[in-house]
Amino acid sequence: MHLSVRRADVDDDRIEQRRRLSSTFFAPFSRADTAALVSGRLGVAALPDAALDLIYGRTDGHPLFSEQLAYALRDAGYLRVVGDDCAIDDAAAARAQDLPATVEGII
């Protein structure tokens, strides 16, 4: 992902100077890295496999999307977090498929 923002009052010469700066691009997270990120953000020891399947399957390892989707799943009741334990609420599982499919939709 690359984000570039500029103020309307900045002249083109300053923009051209900034184009010479280097950029860093990050590869998507692996399934294991996504599990570690989301578990850490939710404060749990581990995620249920079905939850990780849903999160990684939807996000393809995009870290921001992964954590936001995990929060949305928790807030929608799909994931129950009690202490450092995380469980799936089967009654809410069907609704999880209705969550937004893009990072823009989830934020």
Q: Look-up: residue for tokens 């209705």?
A: 98
Over residues 9-52, the pLDDT tens digits come to: 656 666 666 666 666 777 899 999 999 999 999 999 999 998 99
Distance of CA 90 to the CA centre of its chain: 22
pTM comes to: 0.69
User: pLDDT per residue over 43-83, tens digit each?
Assistant: 999 999 989 998 999 899 999 999 999 998 999 888 999 99
Residue 79: strand pairing partners:
88
